[in-house]
Structure 1
Amino acid sequence: MTDLVDFANDLVQDSIDQALAARAAAKPVMAAHSFLFCEACDDPIPEARRLALPGCSQCVICQSIDESLEARHAR
């Protein structure tokens, strides 16, 4: 008898896990708001950059400096 109950519990748990995974996959990703001003130099971030990269926090110049410093330290 307990084998049947365990089997039923496993089936129910599997279907719950699948439903939760499908729900998580279908959930839209919330886009972060872009900063209006660069957090490094306080210059305005152009609107085209803010629209192209939602969630950006630096202007192009500061971002490229950060990326080059990261690349230098990665070596």
Structure 2
Amino acid sequence: MAGGWSRDGAVQDQIDASVEDEVQRARSQLASGESATHCDECDSAIPEARRKAIPGVRLCIACQAALEKQETHSSGINRRGSKDSQLR
């Protein structure tokens, strides 16, 4: 149910587009190819189970956790013409 000047289904289209953007962002960050035997950051050995579970892995668990903690995450707010973004 859309209101005002928007057509029916416009809100769902925005939600779908936001979800698709986030899926594409996550897929772009996936590693691919040959897994490293040693971490690119600290040079510690990467366990074989991790290398098999995650193709293309380049970091040990500790370095990967540190990297993910540093990364900024999207706020989860839809900025595509939402009323909230227009009020700011």
TM-score range, shorter chain: 0.5 to 0.7
Q: Figure out how many residues of one structure are paired with residues of the other and give that number.
A: 44
Which amino acid counterpart does residue 58 of structure 2 have in structure 1?
A: S
CA RMSD of aligned residues (A): 1.7
1:61 is matched with: 62
- Deviation beyond 2 Å, 4+ runs, structure 1: none
Q: Which structure 2 residues correspond to residues 40-59 of structure 1 after superposition, within 5 A?
A: 40-59=41-60
Larger-gyration structure (1/2): 1
1:74, distance to aligned residue in structure 2 (A)? 5.6
CA distance in 1, matches of 2:44, 2:68: 18
1:33, distance to aligned residue in structure 2 (A)? 0.5
CA distance in 2, matches of 1:68, 1:44: 21
CA distance in 2, matches of 1:45, 1:74: 29
Structure 2 stretches of 5 or more lacking a match?
A: 1-31, 76-88
The structure in which a higher percent of residues are helix is: 1
2:39 is matched with: 38
Structure 1 stretches of 5 or more lacking a match?
A: 1-30
What is the percent sequence identity of the aligned residues?
Answer: 43
